Amino acid sequence: MIVLELFLEFALLSFVAFGGATALLPEMHRVVVENHHWLDDTTFTHLYAIAQAAPGPNVLVVTLIGWKVAGLAGALAATLAMCLPMSMLIYLLIERWESFAGKRWQKAVSLGVAPLAVGLVFSGATLIAQAAGFGWVAWLLVAATVLLNLRTKLHPLWLIGAGAGLGLLGWL
């Protein structure tokens, strides 16, 4: 029962998704590509690319993976698995959590999570690069995107569009 398996795997991951769905890219890759062989490297990168080019929250990459693994049922199962567990917890525990505001251990948790989330997002980026097997021109594009995104106010969609254009020209 592949849909159920997908749901359980992703629901488990949702509890460690510090930094959102982007931070989960390495782990989703492990589950979906390496452990279960539901997808190959190329498809995985393509799905990430599609999610980047579409509007909406980052979590939609999970929807696409679910779709490719098990169709519409897979798409819904993966999305729900990613969103539902923490949403329910946060719904039930928000008042209690707010009553801890300012406590030393609560501050320690929030300070402690931040550097881990940075590491996860960085790992997600290296994973995409590895899975896509970038050549040097692609790496130049990556570097240019990093610089332009950090140094200018250019809307990210332009960078995505430039990537698509260079790809279409067959440069990558």
Partner 1 sequence: MPNRPNSGSKAEPEAILAETHHAPQNRPDLRALFLGFSSVGLSGFGGVLPFARRMLVEERRWMTADEFNTQLGLCQFLPGPNVINLAVLVGKRYQGLSGAIVAPVGLLAGPLLIVLLLALLYDRYGSLPLAQSMLRGVAAAGCGLLFAMAWRMGMAIKDKAAFLPFTVLVIAAIAWLRWPMPAVMIAGLLLSGSVAYWKLGRK
Kindly state whether residue 39 participates in binding partner 1, applying the rule CB under 8 A. no
Residue with tokens 């949403």: 87
Q: Which is nearer to partner 1, 4 or 156 (CB)?
A: 156
**Least distance from partner 1 to the Cβ atom of residue 5, Å:** 17
Side chain identity, residue 40: D
Candidate list 4, 8, 12, 154; residue touching partner 1; CB under 8 A = 12
Instruction: Give the shortest CB-124-to-partner 1 separation in angstroms.
Output: 6
Q: Is 91 in the site for partner 1 (CB under 8 A)?
A: yes
Q: Which of 2, 6, 3, 19 is nearest to 123 (CA)?
A: 19
Residue 132, classified by CB atoms within 10 Å of its CB into exposed (0-12), middle (13-18) or buried (19+), is middle
By CB under 8 A, is residue 117 in contact with partner 1? yes
Cα 96 from Cα 101, distance rounded (Å): 9
- Interface with partner 1 includes 87 (CB under 8 A)? yes
Q: Does 152 bind partner 1 (CB under 8 A)?
A: no
Q: Give the whole-angstrom CA distance, residue 30 versus residue 10.
A: 12
Asked if residue 110 binds partner 1 (CB under 8 A), the reply is yes
- Buried b / exposed e across 137-164, counting CB within 10 Å, b at 16+? ebeebeeebeeeeeeeeeeeeebeeebe
Kindly list the distances between the CA atom of residue 123 and the CA atoms of 41, 61, 75, 119, 128, in Å, as whole numbers in the listed order: 16, 16, 24, 6, 9
16's enclosing H/E stretch is none
- Please select the residue that binds partner 1; options are 8, 116, 152, 154, rule is CB under 8 A: 116
Q: Does 85 participate in binding partner 1 (rule CB under 8 A)?
A: yes
Q: Does 112 bind partner 1 (CB under 8 A)?
A: yes
By CB under 8 A, tell whether 2 contacts partner 1.
Answer: no
Where in 61-80 is the site for partner 1 (CB under 8 A)? Answer: 63-64, 67-68, 72, 75, 79
Residue 96 lies near partner 1 (rule: CB under 8 A): no
Minimum CB–partner distance for residue 24 and partner 1 (Å): 8
